[in-house]
Structure 1
């Protein structure tokens, strides 16, 4: 994996970012990426050198589920090893 340094912070970030847009999202009544699969995918990304994770406040059904699942997963790791990009734009459900 290739890495870049974030500005003058000294933080190394993988050139590839792992997107979590489909975590807990439903299509035609089927959850595309369930909790266990999401954690397996995050494990695989980490094992392959990806330390950059993308999420947003509206990812998942209900909104915010992706961020919650990432937080659960991160509880088993050193948070300082990761760069999390989270966006806030659209309002939450309801």
Structure 2
């Protein structure tokens, strides 16, 4: 757009000024690109913080060692079927 505007007004703008305008337009485009990228990174980091907060509020799991566990000699020998029919 800036290049077309420079060509359309070629009698009113010097070549140096037109080059400066195009250079600043490219710089503005790069700045907007950087701004969009940083906004996306910020959103990603905020999601990470939300996940950490959510995981910290989860209920605790049961402990590995339970108090009412079976006796040490509990599995003795085999399986017994009582009143089994096919």
Regarding TM over 0.5, the answer is no
Higher-Rg member (1/2): 2
Task: Compare relative contact order (CA 8 Å, sep 6+) and give the higher one, 1 or 2.
Answer: 1
The bucket for the TM-score relative to the shorter chain is under 0.3
**TM-score between the two structures when normalised by the length of structure 2:** 0.22
Higher normalized helix content (fraction of residues): 2
